[in-house]
Structure 1
């Protein structure tokens, strides 16, 4: 006998929980989750904040519930909690109605391209579009009435989800290894025996300390001829990326003539600080031949006689330059998330620089690690595509 499938609204199979708690200590709630802790297209919650460090969140969630990011839902953030805590008001807490659906199926209904598209289509707002439970509750989905069939679907999706997690764990472990390797190789070099003491600590005897202005030139060319309308923003994770790709909309002004014009290989410094990037982010333009950035960014081009561009990419990816910037960022002088750093002071920072031939060797070593990370990423993406295809067929 064939299983009967029925079309239901989301509100028929789950509840939007909005319970709150103000005395988190008495309730023994130790962890909180913000949107920044949810990874795109990842059903796991692998990071969180500690309540003891301070939070304004009061919305409670429990293990087994689904957390969905309703702000900027195009970022595709939905995950299953495996612990209890509190979360941001921009996160919906969804709980399955177990008389109609097994709880394990709900995450695959929510973390689904059809659902994300619906969420985006029901969002409103300019810079931070939000959807709401009022709109999402009417989302329609077909499910099998028979719970044994629901269980079979979950088991098939769980198998590929497990494979995805394994690849992502390998990628994460390789990234951790790369970070440790960069810290070592960018300050100690390759097989050195003799060192000298500097403000950076001990560095190889043949390495130099040079000012940024000595090995680069500032880029101040404006987009007056309107050579491109490719407006870029700096993402700490993605680098210099098109605003439409990152925000799903243009947030720049219509007139781009006052924006700095960057060529491939040029660097831009975003003084905005964020979690994991206390001194902001410096990234090279790699994805496009031309692009424009806000004049709030400090832009520069490396002088090829002194430095390998890819070496500087890795250098700025590390935290070696943070201590230099922290010296010139006036304490307490942070304005709207921007570090108070003048252009002149920025170009005065010291750079720890090996000879050009060794820069190239370091780039070769780190590039191989990057290639392995990319391989894991691509394998994960292939598996995610297979999972999505299954979801389309099964749900």
Structure 2
């Protein structure tokens, strides 16, 4: 198969302009790109956009050159402006199929090479001057078209499952509000307590990649995905430590874990419950653990309360630059405590929907594996 420099595969679109108030509705920033997803499902800015931005057209590939390790590349859903911390890429259709191009940019083959040339330690960034010189092997055009057809079929099915997953989550949110009311305004007048009077928080463990000796599974930000709970902890990343973690860094059944810090602020504040069932599991320093210590609250109720729009707004909606959650912010949240009978009813409802969500998530992961396998076989 022939080899091409990236500058012969893609055009880097550098046209910029100053934003207007109309652009606030359609603006796409890096925070709107999800790792590993071609689809952009949210956009817009609630605050005025400052500085010149890149001009995108519908169908362009939006590439997150900053914090490249997050592997963000998606297709522009409309014309408008894109963050200057990204790149806008268009295919050279004499070399690569326009239908295949987005999958090529999202592939491990491309991202692994691109990440190797990123510069900077705080926010590793990919520069066009280095990227354009990278060389990649591509199949011939006929094979590209066949591959693109297979990849789009798998991707469209995956997106349909993701939509069903989203609808299921929205159903749970609506049922929660119907039963308990908004947890911040507490319109039903439930007795409430500050969060830290119901349990305790603990930041996760920091460790370095050059440690060795003790191996242990570790729950990190990459494990959250769209999950509400994790029961099979054997699938978590295995890390090596110089010594075993202390008891306070080991997770217990029913612990709720929050994303504390992440380059993608959309992930900050996400939470799930974990059930190690006696296995030794620790958690990353980018997370916060909450451990419930009273019997008048149930984990499914508490978890959905944290996922509600108003509580998430209170946790992470404090300005466009806030990308960290801390224990002080959590301590300011009051927890309404409805009758345990109502919480039990809600738990039964969640258990029913979780079965559907598990099947949908399995289908999504199977399709993602199929897409990765197809790309791995045909690229490089």
Residue 178 (structure 2) pairs with residue 184 (structure 1): yes
Among candidates 303, 312, 337, match of residue 313 of structure 1: 303
Among candidates 375, 385, 388, match of residue 369 of structure 2: 385
Taking the aligned partners of 1:102 and 1:16, their CA distance within structure 2 comes to 16
Aligned to 2:12, what secondary structure does the other structure show? Answer: strand
Contact 1:30 1:85 in 2 (8 A): no
Taking the aligned partners of 2:164 and 2:4, their CA distance within structure 1 comes to 38
* Alignment deviations for residues 30-74 of structure 1 (CA, whole Å, 9 cap, x no partner): 622111111122112222115984343511121222111122323
- 2:17 maps to which residue? 21
- 2:192 maps to which residue? 210
- 2:337 maps to which residue? 353
Correspondences of 1:1-395 after superposition (within 5 Å): 5-22=1-18, 24=20, 31-50=26-45, 53-145=48-140, 147-187=141-181, 200-202=186-188, 208-212=190-194, 216-218=198-200, 261=249, 263-264=251-252, 265-267=254-256, 284=273, 286=275, 289-291=280-282, 301-319=291-309, 321=311, 346=331, 350-395=334-379
The 1:101–1:263 alpha-carbon spacing in structure 2 relative to 1, beyond 3 Å, is closer
Q: Which one has a bigger Cα radius of gyration?
A: 1
* Alignment deviations for residues 183-229 of structure 1 (CA, whole Å, 9 cap, x no partner): 223339xxxxxxxxx961136xxxx4132369624357999xxx999
The 1:33–1:334 alpha-carbon spacing in structure 2 relative to 1, beyond 3 Å, is closer
Gaps of 5+ in 1: 189-197
The 1:125–1:367 alpha-carbon spacing in structure 2 relative to 1, beyond 3 Å, is farther
- 1:192 maps to which residue? none
Taking the aligned partners of 1:34 and 1:333, their CA distance within structure 2 comes to 15
Contact 1:64 1:81 in 2 (8 A): yes
Aligned to 2:96, what secondary structure does the other structure show? Answer: coil
Taking the aligned partners of 1:302 and 1:39, their CA distance within structure 2 comes to 31
Q: CA RMSD in A?
A: 4.7
The 1:282–1:173 alpha-carbon spacing in structure 2 relative to 1, beyond 3 Å, is closer
* Alignment deviations for residues 318-377 of structure 1 (CA, whole Å, 9 cap, x no partner): 246579x69xx9xx999966689858x937x54322333432231121132233223212
Contact 2:58 2:77 in 1 (8 A): yes
* TM-score normalised by length of structure 2: 0.74
Q: How many matched pairs?
A: 360
The 1:364–1:163 alpha-carbon spacing in structure 2 relative to 1, beyond 3 Å, is same
Taking the aligned partners of 2:41 and 2:335, their CA distance within structure 1 comes to 34
The higher-RCO structure (CA 8 Å, 6+ apart) is 2
Taking the aligned partners of 2:170 and 2:375, their CA distance within structure 1 comes to 32
Gaps of 5+ in 2: 206-213
The 1:286–1:334 alpha-carbon spacing in structure 2 relative to 1, beyond 3 Å, is farther
Q: Structure 1 residues 232-241 or 381-390, which shifts more?
A: 232-241
* TM-score normalised by length of structure 1: 0.71
Contact 2:32 2:43 in 1 (8 A): yes
The 1:178–1:276 alpha-carbon spacing in structure 2 relative to 1, beyond 3 Å, is farther
- 2:208 maps to which residue? none
The 1:83–1:270 alpha-carbon spacing in structure 2 relative to 1, beyond 3 Å, is closer
Taking the aligned partners of 1:255 and 1:127, their CA distance within structure 2 comes to 28
Taking the aligned partners of 1:239 and 1:50, their CA distance within structure 2 comes to 28
Aligned to 1:362, what secondary structure does the other structure show? Answer: helix
Contact 1:104 1:154 in 2 (8 A): yes
Superposed displacement of residue 107, structure 1: 1.1
